[in-house]
Amino acid sequence: MRPEAPSAAASAVSAPPDAANPIILARDLSKTYRNGKLEVPALRGVSFTVQAGEFVAVVGPSGSGKSTLFHLLGGLTQATGGSVSIGGTDLAPLSDAARTRLRRATIGFVFQRFNLLPTLSALGNIELAHEISGLKGPLDRALLDHLADLLGLRGRLEHRPNELSGGEQQRVAIARALITRPAIVLADEPTGNLDTKNSDAVLQMLRASSRELNQTVLMITHNPEAAAIADRILHMRDGEMTHIEQGHREVPV
């Protein structure tokens, strides 16, 4: 099972692993936030590549630029300098509409603050992700059942976000990211609100998606145990990537 490719941009993304053609390429990426006269250099010249199917963790202290990197890789914020290419497509020259299409077809996001739509039920949020992805065909009910089971969301899908606990909202956000089988999953602290059991379930799911569906996963985490299941761990500090480490931990079963 491979991620479906609804557009030319997405089919480029689901190409086989190839060191010369990484699925994510960040080159000398920088971001400075400007609030009036105040400048915050959140990211300072970060370069790295991720191959299709790789599971990469990004770790670093609070404020080191991890979420900034996440937003830039997903084309949600514009870089101050450098470039991001997704499946060989440089995001910078794309129109807003083309960037949005590429993003919706290619990337599943799990946001640090979930970003669920408050007026929709959990199921409504998941269905919306499918609707806007551009995927042809109906929502994959078997995958939805599978995700709901593994994430312990059965019986909670009709509830709105404000009727769910933080951990439940986080798990809905994860189901929403995975329901389209995106080529790339970007997850910002996906286990931040979860207990050990649910955290292990999420990590197993992401690990399995990467191995079995050749999904590329980039997961930001504060938790060294979570990071250790990745193929590689990118360490950040003060807006820079300081070093890259090999992961080593087997996923608990």
CB of 59 to Mg ion, least distance (A): 11
68 or 193: CB nearest ligand ATP: 68
Cα–Cα distance measured from residue 130 to residue 135, given in angstroms and rounded to the nearest whole number? 7
Q: What is the β-pairing status of strands 232-237 and 55-59?
A: parallel
CB of 130 to Mg ion, least distance (A): 27
63 or 252: CB nearest ligand ATP: 63
Structure tokens of 73? 């890789």
52 or 56: CB nearest ligand ATP: 56
Contacts to Mg ion from residues 105-124, by CB under 5 A: 112
6 or 60: CB nearest ligand ATP: 60
> Angle at CA 20, nearest 5°, toward 18 and 25?
100
Q: Which does 63 bind (CB under 5 to 8 A by kind): Mg ion, ligand ATP, none?
A: ligand ATP
Helices 122-132 & 166-178 angle (0-180, nearest 10): 20
Q: Which residues pair with 218 in a beta bridge?
A: 56, 186
User: Which residues of the shown chain bind ligand ATP in the complex (CB under 6 A)?
Assistant: 33, 35, 40, 42, 60, 62-68, 112
Find where tokens 């709105």 sit: 160
Cβ–Cβ under 8 Å, residues 242 and 235: yes
Q: Which of 14, 30, 67, 169 binds Mg ion (CB under 5 A)?
A: 67
Which residues are near Mg ion by CB under 5 A? 67, 112
